[in-house]
Amino acid sequence: MALTQEKQLEMLRIMQTIRRFEERASDDYRAGDIYGVVHCYIGEEAVATGVCAALNSDDQIISTHRGHGHCIAKGADLKRMMAELYGRETGYCKGKGGSMHIADFSIGMLGANGIVAGGIPIVTGAGLAAQLEGKGRVAVSFFGDGASNAGPFHESINIAAAWKLPMIYVCENNLYAASTPAASTLAHSDVAARAAGYDIPGVVVDGNDVMAVYDATQEAVARARNGEGPSLIECKTYRWRGHTERVGAADPRPQGEIRAWQERDPIERFVAGLMDQGCITQEAWQEMDEEILAEIEEAVQFSKESPFPDLEAAVEDVFAE
């Protein structure tokens, strides 16, 4: 199904929002306003955007430690996201989670997760809930090439296939598990090939082509809503930045490889295509970017003006009352 111009421009806006949000998060992290650890998704924006564009608002997703892109693509509020990074009481997790644990269950975003592969069984449980409810909802697991080598991936996908859960497993293969090349840890170069072992569809798509990601997801979502069970989609992509934003963290990736992938910038490719089709002008694109930057500035100001949590909050929320 061809997407409307409006929807494609919305997807462009989401991709650019992810990029600008993370550029700012990285700057503010280096400035000391954001603590701990920040993992950037820059370069992979087409995956979260293409997948979430094929979902309904009540469908559910789960993220990884590299979660900002998934949050934004599912519709999270930038102010509450940034405030969480800033550790403020107005953040999504009241300042208790930070970058690695942003969640918004009200929009079906079941959380970023600090354990590689840790989210895969959890979102499979959301898939079981969707099946028990029988309202046609689906659930999406985002994970990386690193997680595809861990037990929870295999256990979960097997259960989902055996029970025909309405699941879409989306592998973001960015070619590195932290600093270790996937080439040295994957027995088969395509994670999607593993689908054969679970008797479900497995496809490889260009993860830097947002429309290719969208199309593959559409097909998998239709199948899941139809009660035909899970699919595995492998998006080949690349992160432009190191595993984390930590200053001085080793990044063993060859400079030439990084440059080659930057030349395949998913945003530039998408915007060029939209310009060719006459969907957007250079001026309108610039205007969109400025609007995004203003929105992010607003989120930063909101965060800076928000208070840190009261100390009593440390002992709250251990249990639900």
Partner 1 sequence: MRKISYAQAGMEALVEEMRRDPTTFHLSTDAPDALVEEFGSERVRATPIAEGALTGIAVGAAGSGFRPIINWSMVTFSFVAMDQIVNQAAKIHYMFGGQVKFPITFRTSVGGGRRVAAQHSQSPYSMFMNLAGLKMILPSTPYDMKGLLKTVIRDDNPVISFESNRLMGVAGEVPEEPYTVPLGKADVKREGSDVTIVALAWLVHEALAAADVLDKEGVSVEVLDPRTLVPLDCDAIRASVQKTGRLVIADEAGPTAGASAEIAAVATEDVETFAKMKAPVKRVCALHVPIPYTPQLEDHVFPDRDNIVAGVREVMNV
Q: Is 195 exposed, middle or buried (0-12, 13-18, 19+ CB in 10 A)?
A: buried
Per DSSP, the chain holds a count of helices (H) and strands (E) of 10, 7
Classify 177 as helix, strand or coil: strand
Q: Which stretch binds partner 1 (CB under 8 A): 37-45, 69-77, 95-103, 189-197?
A: 95-103
Residue 96 in the binding site for partner 1 (CB under 8 A): yes
Residue 317 in the binding site for partner 1 (CB under 8 A): yes
- Convert residues 151-190 into a mask of x (bound to partner 1 by CB under 8 A) and - (unbound): xx--xx-xx--xx---------------------------
Cα gap 206→184, rounded to integer Å:
21
CB 170, min distance to partner 1, A: 16
Residue 106 in the binding site for partner 1 (CB under 8 A): yes
CB 251, min distance to partner 1, A: 26
**Cβ of 228: how many Cβ atoms within 10 Å?**
14
Residue 124 in the binding site for partner 1 (CB under 8 A): yes
Name the residue among 105, 230, 224 with its Cα closest to residue 169: 230
Q: Residue 110 is encoded by which pair of tokens?
A: 């079941």
User: Quick one: 3 or 150, whose CB is closer to partner 1?
Assistant: 150
User: Quick one: 11 or 130, whose CB is closer to partner 1?
Assistant: 130
Beta-carbon contacts of 200 under 8 Å, excluding residues fewer than 6 positions away, are 157, 161, 229, 230, 231, 232
User: Quick one: 1 or 320, whose CB is closer to partner 1?
Assistant: 320
User: Quick one: 126 or 170, whose CB is closer to partner 1?
Assistant: 126
Query: What phi, psi does 23 have (nearest 5°)?
Result: -60, -40
Residues that bind partner 1 (CB under 8 A): 60, 62, 91-97, 101, 103-106, 110-111, 113-115, 118, 120-130, 132-133, 139, 151-152, 155-156, 158-159, 162-163, 316-321
